[in-house]
């Protein structure tokens, strides 16, 4: 049952992505991208990543759509119509080759036996077992993000701050 | 090599990752509209994050990485195989927020280019620069 | 570009939704330890609720003026985060090691729990103000460009 749900979600996701590529105006592409973000949030919730699904639904489907639409409203209408250029032959031949290379490369990351998986071998089990004793936080993801890996979160907060400053420098005029 | 690919095909999310990566790559490289390129980059980034989360999934219906009451009372009985690996979720959370921040900056750059040169198409902008 | 929305339905629904979403953002922020959520989601919901207030109620209403005042607090979140780390340094340990926060009578786990809550507040404040600031930067010169054409 779970497998059918996942396959249906994946088919919907790929259909939405193809829709984003093929549609003719930019505003439609942006709105279909919001739909794609929601579907991605559902896929993540189905894979067991509830924190990630929460943040993606708020940030991806909410904030990034607003940012795209605000930029599109500044442009005149004729600039947002897309021309359908013919696809270059290199792309048609090279992209399936790239797909095969990717499949071959990610296969060792997902072997059959559970303990052999590289992502689960070193500290992940220790985090699951030790984090409640050390931090009294039932949500293991928050405990790892804010306590064990607090440096990453600190630098990421710095990156967000810098992005806000960069936008302000690029776009605000000094007349007021 | 074929059994590698066979094992990868068992999980639908991995096929989704490859197809979405190719879609995003195609949009990013072959379109000349700058905002469409940004949409391609967005597709690319979310597909890679899908791969990152899929790596942490465990078989046999492992539950969400939030400890239940039973395990809170007796922390020695936590079996790591019963919970989904929390480490890729941490990396993905950071990556999503950084993604929206860089999207904001790139859209500000596109808006500034539009204000100066009057076009969203990169070939026209290149012509107008000369 | 931003004016008060002229439909009564949108304005009334906005007046209901904005305080509710801010309350929900605070809930998500403080309950990030016991369920999904945490600093990132809470911060973005908080920023989006201010943005909704600006779009629905117009640029002269009090929430919009509050939002413009909040914009100046762009670095407060980062300062809170680094401040918590600095307090840990003052308490005698390494940077961002919350078990050194000097609070009498608490043991190690409770101090680390408190450290996690404080840093989540810092992250949420940073993201909320940055989201608001980016949206204001992108939306600003629309009327100026329209008058050039």
Q: Which domains does chain B have, with CATH numbers?
A: 2-129 (1.10.287.3510)
Q: Which residues 113-142 on chain C approach chain B with CB closer than 8 angstroms?
A: 127, 130, 134, 137-138, 141
- Option in A71, A134, A171 nearest C109 (CB): A134
pLDDT at position A92 is: 81
What pTM, to 2 d.p., does this model score?
0.89
Phi, psi of B66 (to 5 degrees): -120, 125
For residue B108, give the nearest of C127, C130, C138 by CB distance: C138
**SS3 assignment, position B121:** strand
Question: Residue for token digits 């309950």?
Answer: C31
C109 vs A150: CB contact, 8 Å cut-off?
no
How high is the ipTM of this complex? Answer: 0.89
**Which of B42 and B12 is assigned the larger pLDDT?**
B42
| Boundaries of every domain in chain C | 8-140
Q: Do the Cβ atoms of A67 and B114 come within 8 Å?
A: no
pLDDT, average across residues B62-86: 75
- Tens of pLDDT, residue by residue over C5-34, are 678 888 888 889 999 999 999 999 999 888
CA distances from A109 to A44, B91, B98, B112 (A): 19, 16, 25, 42
List of chain B residues whose C-beta atoms are within 8 Å of the C-beta of residue C127:
97
Contact residues on chain C for A154, CB-CB shorter than 8 A: 81-82, 85, 96
If one compares B36 and C100, the residue with the highest pLDDT of the two is B36
Which site among A9, A43, A115, A128 would you substitute to test the B interface, given the most B Cβ atoms closer than 10 Å to its Cβ? A128
pLDDT band at B57 (very low <50, low <70, confident <90, very high): confident
Kindly state the average pLDDT of the residues B12-40. Answer: 89
Give the whole-number percent of chain B exceeding pLDDT 70: 89
- Considering only residues C91 and A70, tell me which one the structure prediction assigns the higher pLDDT: A70
Per the rule left: phi > 0, alpha: psi between -120 and 50, beta: everything else, A49 is: beta
Main-chain phi, psi angles of B32, to 5 degrees = -100, -5
DSSP three-state, residue A36: helix
Q: Hey, are the CB atoms on A146 and C1 less than 8 Å from each other?
A: no
Chain centroid to CA C131:
8
Mean pLDDT, chain B, whole residue set: 84
Chain A touching partners, 3 or more CB pairs below 8 A = B, C
Instruction: Give the pLDDT band of residue B70 (cuts 50, 70, 90).
Output: confident
CB contact under 8 A, C40 and B93: yes
Contact A64 B42 (CB under 8 A): yes
The pLDDT profile of chain A, 176 residues, written as one tens digit per residue, is 457 888 899 999 999 999 998 888 888 999 999 999 999 999 998 888 899 999 999 998 889 999 999 888 887 766 666 666 777 788 788 888 888 888 888 777 766 545 556 666 677 778 888 888 888 888 888 888 888 888 999 999 999 999 999 988 888 876 54
CB neighbour list of residue A130: distance below 8 Å, 6 or more residues apart:
none
Q: How far is A99 from chain C (nearest CA, A)?
A: 33
**Which of B2, B10, B46, B49 best probes binding to A when mutated, by most A CB atoms within 10 angstroms?**
B46
**How far is the C-alpha of C126 from the C-alpha of C71, rounded, in Å?**
10
- For position B31, what pLDDT does the model report? 85
> What share of chain C in percent tops pLDDT 70?
91
In this complex, which of A71, A145, A159 lies closest to B107 when CB atoms are compared?
A71
C42 touches chain A (CB under 8 A): no
Subunits in contact with chain B (3 or more CB pairs closer than 8 Å): A, C
- Contacts of residue B71, Cβ cutoff 8 Å, sequence gap at least 6: A132, B77, B78
**Residues of chain C contacting A58 with CB distance shorter than 8 Å:** 41, 44-45, 48
In chain A, residues 126-165 whose CB comes closer than 8 Å to chain C: 133-139, 141-143, 145-147, 150-151, 153-154, 157-158, 160-161, 163-165
Rounded-to-integer distance, Cα A18 and Cα A101, Å: 21
Interface check B7 vs C, CB under 8 A: no
* A9-23, A92-106, B7-21, B57-71 — most confident range: A9-23
Of C28, C36, C140, the CB nearest to A172: C140
A48 φψ region: left (φ > 0), alpha (ψ -120 to 50), beta (else): left
- Reported confidence tier of residue C145, pLDDT bands at 50, 70, 90: very low
User: What are the b/e assignments for C67-95, b being 16+ CB within 10 Å?
Assistant: beebbeebbbbbebbbebbebbeeeeeee
Is A61:A37 a contact under the CB 8 Å cutoff? Answer: yes
> C16 exposed, middle or buried (CB, 10 Å; 0-12, 13-18, 19+)?
exposed
pLDDT at B107 over 80: yes
């Amino acid at each position: 049952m779970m497998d059918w749900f996942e396959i249906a979600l994946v088919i919907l996701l790929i259909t939405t992505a193809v829709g984003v590529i093929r549609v003719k105006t930019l505003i439609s592409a942006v709105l279909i991208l919001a739909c794609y973000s929601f579907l991605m949030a559902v896929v993540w919730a189905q894979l067991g990543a509830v924190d990630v699904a929460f943040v993606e639904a708020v940030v991806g489907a909410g904030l990034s759509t607003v940012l795209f639409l605000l930029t599109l409203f500044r442009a005149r209408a004729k600039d947002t119509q897309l021309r359908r250029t013919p696809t270059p032959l290199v792309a048609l031949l090279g992209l399936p080759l790239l797909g095969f290379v990717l499949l071959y490369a990610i296969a060792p990351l997902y072997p059959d036996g559970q303990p052999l998986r590289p992502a689960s071998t070193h500290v992940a089990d220790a985090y699951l077992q030790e984090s409640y004793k050390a931090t009294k936080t039932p949500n293991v993801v928050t405990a790892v993000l804010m306590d064990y890996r607090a440096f990453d979160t600190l630098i990421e907060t710095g990156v967000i701050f810098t992005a806000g400053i960069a936008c302000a420098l690029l776009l605000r005029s000094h007349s007021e | 090599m074929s059994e590698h690919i066979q094992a990868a095909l068992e999980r639908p999310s991995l096929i989704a990752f490859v197809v979405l990566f190719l879609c995003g790559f195609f949009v990013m490289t072959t379109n000349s509209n700058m905002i469409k390129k940004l949409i391609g980059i967005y597709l690319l980034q979310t597909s890679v994050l899908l791969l990152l989360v899929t790596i942490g999934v465990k078989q046999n219906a492992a539950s969400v990485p939030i400890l239940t009451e039973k395990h809170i009372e007796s922390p020695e009985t936590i079996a790591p195989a019963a919970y989904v690996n929390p480490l890729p979720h941490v990396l993905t959370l950071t990556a999503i927020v950084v993604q929206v921040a860089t999207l904001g900056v790139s859209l500000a750059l596109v808006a500034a280019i539009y204000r100066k040169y009057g076009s969203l198409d990169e070939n026209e902008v290149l012509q107008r620069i000369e | 570009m931003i004016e008060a929305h002229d439909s009564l339905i949108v304005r009334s629904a906005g007046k209901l939704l904005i305080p509710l979403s801010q309350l929900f953002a605070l809930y998500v922020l403080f309950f990030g330890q016991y369920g999904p959520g945490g600093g990132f989601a809470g911060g973005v919901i908080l920023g989006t609720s201010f943005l909704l207030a600006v779009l629905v109620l117009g640029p002269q209403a009090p929430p919009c003026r509050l939002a413009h005042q909040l914009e100046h607090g762009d670095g407060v979140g980062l300062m809170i985060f680094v401040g918590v780390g600095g307090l840990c340094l003052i308490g005698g340990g390494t940077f961002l090691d919350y078990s050194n926060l000097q609070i009498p009578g608490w043991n190690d786990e409770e101090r680390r729990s408190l450290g996690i809550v404080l840093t989540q507040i810092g992250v949420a404040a940073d993201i909320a103000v940055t989201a608001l600031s980016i949206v204001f930067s992108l939306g600003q010169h629309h009327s100026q460009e329209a008058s050039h054409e």
